[in-house]
Amino acid sequence: MFDKLIDEKLLPFIFTQPKHPMRFNELMRANKLFVDNMPLEGQIPGVKLRLGRAYLFMIVVWNLVLIPLALIFHKILAKIDCHVAIILAVVFTLLFFGILSIFKQWAAEKMAEKMIRQAWKIHFPYYDYETYHAKVAKFYDDAVERGVTGANLEMYIMNALSLEK
């Protein structure tokens, strides 16, 4: 349920999505980067982070966490020295931007995986993503090493998959 909420509501709110499906070569490159655990931000064509919306989401979540904490510890916070309050403000600001950076990277990975899965259904309808995505990445790597490009790349990978099955 939580994954469905993220996929259907949060990711479309934070990212722009392309109108056209991913091409085969783009899918192969993105899948290879995903399998190798490389950063995918900016690697999927047409997918762009809406930074203002990411900030807005994080500010709302941050305040949903901090306001109840501030209300619970109000008496203690009211009695502390102002210098400690300034240091706490700096620490919470650092935490906010650190968590925002981690959130942006996590969201980019989730969005890339979602786009790769959508393109997989188009280009490999008879092959399960979970079973074959690592094998296809290996075949793609072999094809690039051999210098296979263009339409021959798709034929090379499909032939390798059919021999694998």
Residue 165 has pLDDT above 70, yes or no: no
Structural domain includes residue 164: no
Structural domain includes residue 162: no
Question: Whole domain around residue 61: which residue ranges?
Answer: 2-123
Q: What is the pLDDT of residue 154?
A: 87
Structural domain includes residue 16: yes
> Into how many domains does the chain fold?
1
Q: What is the pLDDT of residue 73?
A: 87
Structural domain includes residue 106: yes
- The percentage of the chain sitting over the pLDDT mark of 90, rounded to a whole number, equals 38
Cβ pair 53, 100 in contact under 8 A:
no
